Amino acid sequence: MSSAKGKIARLLGGMLLQSAKVASAEDTGGFRRIVLKTNLPKPRAGTKVQVLLPSDDMRTYSPIASPEGFVLLGWKHAGGPGSRWLSEVQAGAELRFFAPQGSLELSEGPVVVVGDETSVAVAASFEVERQGQVQVVLQAGSVDDVRRAAEAVGLSRVSAIQRGETERLVEAALAAHKAAPEAVFALSGGSELVATIRNALRARGVRNIKTKTYWVPGKTGLD
Ligand SMILES: Cc1cc2nc3c(=O)[nH]c(=O)nc-3n(C[C@H](O)[C@H](O)[C@H](O)COP(=O)(O)OP(=O)(O)OC[C@H]3O[C@@H](n4cnc5c(N)ncnc54)[C@H](O)[C@@H]3O)c2cc1C
**Predicted confidence (pLDDT) at residue 13 exceeds the cutoff of 80:** no
Average pLDDT over residues 189-200: 98
Instruction: Please tell me the predicted confidence (pLDDT) of residue 11.
Output: 75
Q: Percent of the chain beyond pLDDT 90?
A: 91
d(Cα 79, Cα 37) in Å, to the nearest integer? 27
**Predicted confidence (pLDDT) at residue 39 exceeds the cutoff of 70:** yes
What would the pLDDT profile of 126-160 be if each residue is shown by its tens digit? 999 999 999 999 999 999 999 999 999 999 999 99
**Averaged pLDDT score across all residues of the chain:** 95
Distance 78 CA to ligand 1 centre (A): 5
Average pLDDT over residues 21-30: 97
Question: What global pTM score does this model have?
Answer: 0.96
Distance 44 CA to ligand 1 centre (A): 21
What would the pLDDT profile of 41-76 be if each residue is shown by its tens digit? 999 999 999 999 999 999 999 999 999 999 999 999
The partner residues of 206 in beta bridges, in order of sequence, read none
- Which residues touch 71 (CB under 8 Å, ≥6 apart)? 33, 34, 35, 36, 63, 64, 121, 124, 153
What SS3 class is residue 83? helix
Q: Do 188 and 62 meet the contact criterion of CB atoms below 8 Å apart?
A: no
Instruction: Please tell me the predicted confidence (pLDDT) of residue 7.
Output: 78
**Parallel/antiparallel/unpaired status of strands 134-140 and 158-162:** parallel
**Predicted confidence (pLDDT) at residue 9 exceeds the cutoff of 80:** no
Determine the atom of ligand 1 nearest the C-alpha atom of 63: 8
Q: Do 150 and 158 meet the contact criterion of CB atoms below 8 Å apart?
A: yes
d(Cα 147, Cα 10) in Å, to the nearest integer? 36
Distance 214 CA to ligand 1 centre (A): 6
Determine which residue's CA is closest to atom 6 belonging to ligand 1: 61
Distance 123 CA to ligand 1 centre (A): 16
**Predicted confidence (pLDDT) at residue 4 exceeds the cutoff of 90:** no
Mutate to test the pocket of ligand 1, among 97, 118, 213 (most ligand atoms within 8 A of CB): 118
pLDDT-based confidence at residue 31 (cuts at 50, 70, 90) = very high
